[in-house]
A = this chain, B = another copy of it.
Amino acid sequence: MKRDSRLSGVLHVLLHMAERRDPMTSEALAQAMQTHPVVIRRILGGLRDAGFVRSEKGHGGGWTIQRALGDITMRDIYDAIGRPALMAMGHRTDAPGCLVEQAVNAALDTSFRDAEALLLARFAQVTLAELAADFHARMAARPATSVKDHIHG
C-alpha cells in the first residue's frame, strides 16, 4: 500500500494560502510542497467545487481561500477531497460465501467502523483557524523573526 497524503497535503497548502492576502499560484504552492503544479490543481479542484477556495486565471490569478478559517474543519476538507480510505486494511472478498470469512469480516468491520467514526469526529472538531494558531504558536517559540523564515519558498 502506498500511503495517501492528500489530506495532509491539502491542509498544508491551505495554511500557506491563509498566510497571504494575494492569490497564490499553483506553481508557488507546488514549490512550497515540493511537488508538481498539476497535483496542486487536482487536490484544490475538489475544494473549489465545494466552495472552500476560488481559482482565477490570467495575470495576478491563483488560489484564494473563500471562507473564514474558523468555519472550515479538517472533516470538511476530508469530505471535499472525496473521503479517501482511512484504514489501511481491507478483506480479500466483499461477498464471501464462506461463513468463516463472514465471521472474520464482521469482527474486523465493527472495529474499523468505530475507529473511523472516532477519527471523523476528531476531524470535525479541528478548524483551520486552530491549525493556523498552532503554527503561529510554534513560530513564536522560535528565535527567527518573520513568517517568511518559517515557511518554505
A residues with a Cβ closer than 8 A to B are: 1-9, 11-12, 15-16, 19, 32-35, 74, 84-95, 97-108, 110-112, 114-116, 118-119, 122-123, 126, 130-132, 134-135, 138-139, 142, 150-152
**Alpha-carbon distance between A102 and B6 when the two chains are bound, in angstroms:** 16
| A131 pairs with B119, CB closer than 8 A | no
**Chain B residues near A8 (CB, 8 Å)?**
89-92, 101, 104-105, 108
**Alpha-carbon distance between A126 and B105 when the two chains are bound, in angstroms:** 13
**Chain B residues near A98 (CB, 8 Å)?**
12, 32, 150-152
Number of chain copies forming the complex? 2
Q: Which residue of B lies closest to A2 (CB)?
A: B1
Chief secondary structure at chain A's binding surface: helix
